[in-house]
């Protein structure tokens, strides 16, 4: 999936824009919006899913509603052979870790992690990070307030 045969036309982009903003929009509504038959829309949506353009439909849940009020970024330095991915595999397997990026520069990895509070963050660092022998050092940045947080992409009109 997601090969070179993915030429997204104006209609595909329109569908993506609608579904990115409201994943629970009905095919019928999409069809009305873009002036196509519902069955045609369904075909296109299925193709977008199957090509890996649409990766998932998800409900964005308010972390505060689940009392998950701690958000932190951890910059991690690791001493491992280039191409070795043991560290990232371990980091990605931690459920509270939302993002793991391999970054350029001094710090090898940047990890985004969401927990209930500072105690549970420390708990994860103790129980998980300290068990990863390749980790040389960590630098934790605590988020005081999140002003904007969205995964939505800028989708061009054409």
In whole angstroms, the minimum distance from the beta carbon of 61 to DNA comes to 18
In whole angstroms, the minimum distance from the beta carbon of 101 to a copy of itself comes to 5
78 beta partners: 135
Q: Which does 59 bind (CB under 5 to 8 A by kind): a copy of itself, DNA, none?
A: a copy of itself
For the purposes of burial, counting CB atoms within 10 Å of the CB of 107, is it exposed (0-12), middle (13-18) or buried (19 or more)?
middle
Chain positions contacting a copy of itself, by CB under 8 A: 2, 6, 8, 16, 19-24, 51-66, 68, 71, 73, 85, 88, 91-92, 95-105, 107, 110, 114, 141-156
Are the C-beta atoms of 34 and 11 separated by less than 8 Å?
yes
In whole angstroms, the minimum distance from the beta carbon of 55 to DNA comes to 18
Distance in angstroms (rounded) separating the CA atoms of residues 13 and 88: 33
């Amino acid at each position: 999936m997601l090969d070179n045969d993915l030429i997204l036309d104006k209609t595909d982009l329109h569908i993506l824009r609608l579904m990115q903003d409201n994943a629970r929009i009905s095919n019928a509504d999409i069809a009305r919006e873009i002036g196509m038959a519902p069955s045609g829309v369904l075909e296109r949506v299925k193709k977008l899913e199957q090509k890996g353009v649409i990766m998932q439909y998800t409900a964005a849940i308010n972390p505060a509603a689940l009392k998950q009020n701690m958000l932190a970024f951890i910059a991690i330095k690791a001493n491992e052979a280039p191409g070795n991915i043991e560290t990232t595999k371990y980091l990605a397997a931690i459920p509270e870790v939302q993002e793991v990026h391999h970054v350029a520069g001094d710090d090898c990895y940047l990890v985004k992690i969401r927990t209930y509070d500072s105690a549970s963050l420390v708990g994860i660092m103790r129980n998980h990070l300290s068990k990863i022998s390749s980790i040389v050092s960590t630098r934790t940045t605590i988020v005081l307030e999140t002003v904007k947080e969205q995964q939505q992409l800028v989708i061009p009109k054409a």
